Amino acid sequence: MIGMAGGDGSQAQVAAVASELDLPYICVPAGTRNHFALDIGVEPGDVVGALDAFSDGAERRIDLATVNGRVFVNNVSLGFYGRVVQSKEYRGAKFRTVIEMLPELLGPGAAPFDLRFAGPDGSRYSGVQLLLVSNNRYAIDLREREGTRGGMDHGVLGVVVVTAGPPLPGVREWNTPELGVDSGTTVEAGVDGEAVTFEPPLLFASLPGALRIRLPIRRHGHGRGRRSRVGGS
């Protein structure tokens, strides 16, 4: 077995190793928000309870996802949030940084980000404000600004697009096993909350059943997915 105590970005890196070696993986939630732990059914911040999985655990398989070969457990954000995460001030004051950057990135004069991809009906997107690609689909309530994944083993990526057009303004969501994104410039991204820059094109893919996850029995059962905010570590 192999385990990791840390936030979502660290969890993804070690989960990638566990998947490659086909070892049971134990998530020990020691990050800021612990979204991955919440969605697999481990209480956030309960380090002692999570460690029980080493001696008294049950195993099942869940999905991972990749972008250009890099594993992520939660999601990758491109566009507005991808730009915000790059800011040096973001780590120390996340909410304040978002508020300060909003007028420039989403105000009336803001240009859409150069992100080109196709929707499930063949519609072509050439510029959006936000593109969120997740490991399995979030059920998003925009009023609460929260989301949850009811399961981590559906073998799909969840896609959420926020755009002013074309082809249609507003928010669109769909599932897909893979997604290709092109751009005329380097692409800034938030990968499980970590700042990353990619050279285009970007290829997202679901890895069904790629991770043997091991969860503590006595405290958490098999972990059926709990409510968590959409975001990174």
CATH number of the domain residue 51 falls in:
3.40.50.10330
What is the tally of structural domains in the chain?
Answer: 2
Quick: pLDDT tens for 149-200.
878 999 999 998 887 655 555 788 999 999 999 999 999 999 998 889 999 9
Tell me the CA distances in angstroms from 192 to 53, 60, 103, 132, 205, one per residue in order. Answer: 24, 22, 24, 11, 15
Strands (E), the chain: 2-6, 24-29, 57-67, 70-72, 75-79, 117-118, 124-125, 130-135, 139-141, 146-148, 157-163, 170-176, 178-181, 187-191, 194-198, 202-216
Q: What are the residues facing 2 on neighbouring strands?
A: 25
- Are 58 and 90 in the same domain? no
Reported confidence tier of residue 224, pLDDT bands at 50, 70, 90: very low
- Are 95 and 58 in the same domain? no
- Are 87 and 191 in the same domain? yes
Euclidean distance between CA atoms 169 and 201, whole angstroms: 24
Alpha helices per DSSP H over 45-175 = 47-51, 80-85, 94-106
- Within a domain: residue 230? no
- Are 187 and 114 in the same domain? yes
- Are 168 and 178 in the same domain? yes
CATH number of the domain at 160, please.
Answer: 2.60.200.40
Euclidean distance between CA atoms 218 and 216, whole angstroms: 6
- Within a domain: residue 231? no
Environment class of 143 (CB within 10 Å of its CB; exposed 0-12, middle 13-18, buried 19+): exposed
Rg (CA), the chain: 18
CB contact at 8 A, 26 and 2? yes
Q: Which one is predicted more confidently, 186 or 93?
A: 186
- Are 145 and 188 in the same domain? yes
pTM for this model (two decimals): 0.82
- Within a domain: residue 51? yes
CB contact at 8 A, 27 and 4? yes
CB contact at 8 A, 49 and 206? no
Residue 219 has pLDDT above 80, yes or no: no
- Are 63 and 91 in the same domain? no
- Are 214 and 186 in the same domain? no
Range of the domain at 14: 2-71+207-220
Please state, rounded to an integer, the average pLDDT across all residues of the chain: 82
